Structure formats: C-alpha cells, structure tokens
Amino acid sequence: MIRWMNRKMTTGTFAARPMGGARRAVLSHDRDWLLARIASVPGLTIRALRAEWAERGTVVCKDAVWRFLRNEGLTFKKACA
C-alpha cells in the first residue's frame, strides 16, 4: 500500500509527521569532568579535549565538542601550536 494512503487510513490525515527530534548530548555524562578540566587548564584546545576523551573511551567529533561547549555557554579561542 502507498505510504500516504496508509497514513490517511491510520491517522485520518494526509499531513506529514514532524521531522527531526531532540538530539541527546553525547558528552552530557562527562559534564562535571569537562568543566573541572577546563577550569584547571585554561589554554586547553578542542583538539586536546578530543584526545583526552578518546583516552577515556569516548571518541567524539569536533562538532560535538563545539555544540556541548556552546550549550554550556563556554567559548574557545583558537590556539596556535
């Protein structure tokens, strides 16, 4: 059966269902560790944070770290090394 007809028969409408949804923060379980780590090493870079998370067993992308920091109200400056 065609999907849109099936939807009409089951819900009574042809309207599309909402797209997307809430995304769970991958790094939320390490929030306390991260905030303490940033407080103890002010010059810590995103690359260094990713490396430390990898050592702890959580491999994350740069964007996940940025999203987490933005949600916490933290900003990072670029560091030349």
pTM for the full model?
Answer: 0.58
Rounded Cα distance between 68 and 49, Å, is 12
Rounded Cα distance between 48 and 80, Å, is 13
Rounded Cα distance between 25 and 27, Å, is 5
Domain coverage including residue 71? 28-75
Span 59-78, mean pLDDT?
Answer: 82
User: Does residue 21 belong to any structural domain of this protein?
Assistant: no
Give pLDDT, residue 78: 57
User: Does residue 1 belong to any structural domain of this protein?
Assistant: no
Span 14-34, mean pLDDT?
Answer: 79
Number of domains in the chain: 1
Q: Is 68 helix (H, G, I), strand (E, B) or coil?
A: helix
